[in-house]
């Protein structure tokens, strides 16, 4: 079967969430506006996530997986997903399911006019410290990138795959996906999506790496922007 859209699900020690991830994604596949598949990327989990993922993929034709030898971080997991899809559209959602796959349909309504559509989490169900550190980090990042994104950390995005594959990813750059699409002269927009409390598992980012990580990554982004190669061919004999 040919799929138009692939959902990447990065996984790191989320065994307690994965059965629910399967259930929610199966529900979404029944209502998805385009033919959709799922790609788990196991980022070197040390729990039983891999065994659960393999069982899920064995019983669902639209589900596949790749697994890292060791933990490499969220940016690496997302890049591996981009590298291993061949659908026209690619997106991702966190395995903690604090956003819902159903809202991919809201983003799909806008993807024809843009190269990236990202969610903005409304009425966030995070702790005050987590929400405030995220707000500060987003402000710092906007000051560097001028991309206008309110909530670039929202784990619900859809990107046209040819643009996603050209993003020169490095550790931490998942926070800069809209800015990297804009470097390719791609169009980006942000749409309000729902947000839910985490039910199982634990968060992978704390207060300090929400603040200092993005600050350091901003300087990496500025270097990348300065060195980024972008060109358009006006004429060719090929």
CATH code: domain of residue 93: 3.90.550.10
- Locate 12 and state its tokens: 């790191």
Structural domain includes residue 34? yes
Beta-carbon neighbour count of residue 100 at 10 Å? Answer: 16
In the predicted model, what is the mean pLDDT of residues 68-77? 93
Question: With 0-12 CB in 10 A as exposed, 13-18 as middle and 19+ as buried, what is 106?
Answer: middle
pLDDT band at 103 (very low <50, low <70, confident <90, very high): very high
Domain count, the chain: 1
pLDDT higher than 90, residue 21: yes
pLDDT tens digits for 165-193? 998 877 777 788 898 898 899 999 999 99
**Which residues on neighbouring strands pair with residue 67, listed in sequence order?**
42
pLDDT higher than 90, residue 133: no
pLDDT band at 41 (very low <50, low <70, confident <90, very high): very high
- Kind plus residue range of the DSSP H or E element containing 214: helix 207-227
Q: What DSSP designation does 111 have?
A: G
Structural domain includes residue 182? yes
In the predicted model, what is the mean pLDDT of residues 18-28? 97
Structural domain includes residue 234? no
Structural domain includes residue 235? no
The three-class DSSP label of residue 60 is coil
In the predicted model, what is the mean pLDDT of residues 89-109? 95
Structural domain includes residue 45? yes
Structural domain includes residue 232? no
Domain extent at residue 158: 5-227
Structural domain includes residue 237? no
pLDDT higher than 70, residue 143: no
Handedness of CA 148, 198, 75, 25 (dihedral sign): negative
pLDDT higher than 80, residue 155: yes
Structural domain includes residue 233? no
In the predicted model, what is the mean pLDDT of residues 2-29? 96
């Amino acid at each position: 079967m040919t799929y138009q859209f692939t959902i990447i699900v990065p996984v790191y020690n989320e065994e307690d969430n994965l059965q629910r991830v399967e259930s929610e994604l199966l529900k979404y596949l029944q209502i998805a506006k385009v033919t959709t598949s799922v790609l788990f990327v196991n980022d070197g989990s040390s729990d039983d996530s891999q065994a659960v993922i393999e069982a899920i993929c064995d019983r669902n034709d639209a589900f596949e997986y790749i697994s890292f030898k060791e933990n490499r971080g969220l940016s690496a997991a997302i890049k591996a997903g981009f590298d291993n899809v061949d659908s026209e559209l690619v997106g991702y959602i966190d395995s903690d399911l604090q956003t819902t796959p159903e809202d991919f349909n809201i983003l799909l309504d806008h993807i024809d006019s843009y190269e990236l559509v990202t969610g903005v989490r409304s009425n966030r169900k995070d702790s005050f410290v987590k929400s405030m550190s995220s707000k500060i980090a987003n402000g710092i990042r906007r000051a560097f990138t001028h991309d206008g994104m309110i909530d670039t950390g929202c784990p619900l995005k859809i990107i046209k795959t040819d643009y996603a594959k050209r993003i020169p990813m490095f550790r931490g750059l998942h926070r800069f996906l809209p800015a990297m699409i804009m470097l390719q002269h791609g169009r980006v927009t942000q749409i309000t999506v729902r947000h839910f409390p985490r039910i199982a598992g634990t968060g992978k980012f704390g207060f300090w790496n929400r603040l200092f990580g993005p600050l350091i990554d901003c300087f990496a982004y500025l270097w990348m922007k300065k060195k980024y190669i972008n060109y358009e061919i006006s004429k060719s004999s090929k």
